[in-house]
Chain A
Amino acid sequence: MEYFAHSQREFVYKYIVMLSDIDKFEHMSFANYLKLMFLAADALLSELYKPNFLNKFRLRLEHSRMQFKKQTVSGDKILIKVNSSGISHQSFSLLFTFVIEGSGELVGLGRQTYKAILRSNEEAFDIPSILISLLESVQVVEENLLYKY
Chain B
Amino acid sequence: MQTNPNSYFSFDELKVFFKHTTYHGFVHPYNFLEWTSYVREAFFAQHCPDFEAILISPIKMMTTKISADYLGESKFGDRLQARFTSTKIKKVSFDVIVRFMNTQSAQKICQTYHSLVFVDSLTGKFTSIPQSIKEAVSKYQEPD
Contact = CB atoms under 8 A, between A and B. Distances in A.
Interface of A: 25, 29-31, 34-35, 38, 54, 58, 60-68, 71, 119
Given A31-B33, A54-B24, A64-B67, 12 more contacts: A25-B55, A29-B37, A30-B37, A31-B34, A31-B36, A31-B37, A63-B70, A64-B68, A68-B62, A68-B63, A68-B65, A71-B62
Residue among A29, A30, A54, A58 with max Cβ neighbours from chain B (10 Å): A30
Contacts, number: 52
A-B pairs with lowest CB-CB distance, top 4: A65-B67, A30-B63, A34-B33, A67-B65
Given A30-B37, A65-B67, A66-B66, A38 B24 contact: no
B60 A25 contact: yes
B4 to A, nearest CB: 29
A42 to B, nearest CB: 10
B29 A61 contact: yes
Interface magnitude class on chain B: 20 to 34
B69 interface: yes
A119 B30 contact: no
Interface in B44-70: 55, 60, 62-70
A71 B66 CA distance: 15
Given A25-B60, A54-B24, A119-B24, A34 B55 contact: no
Nearest to A25: B55
A62 B62 contact: no
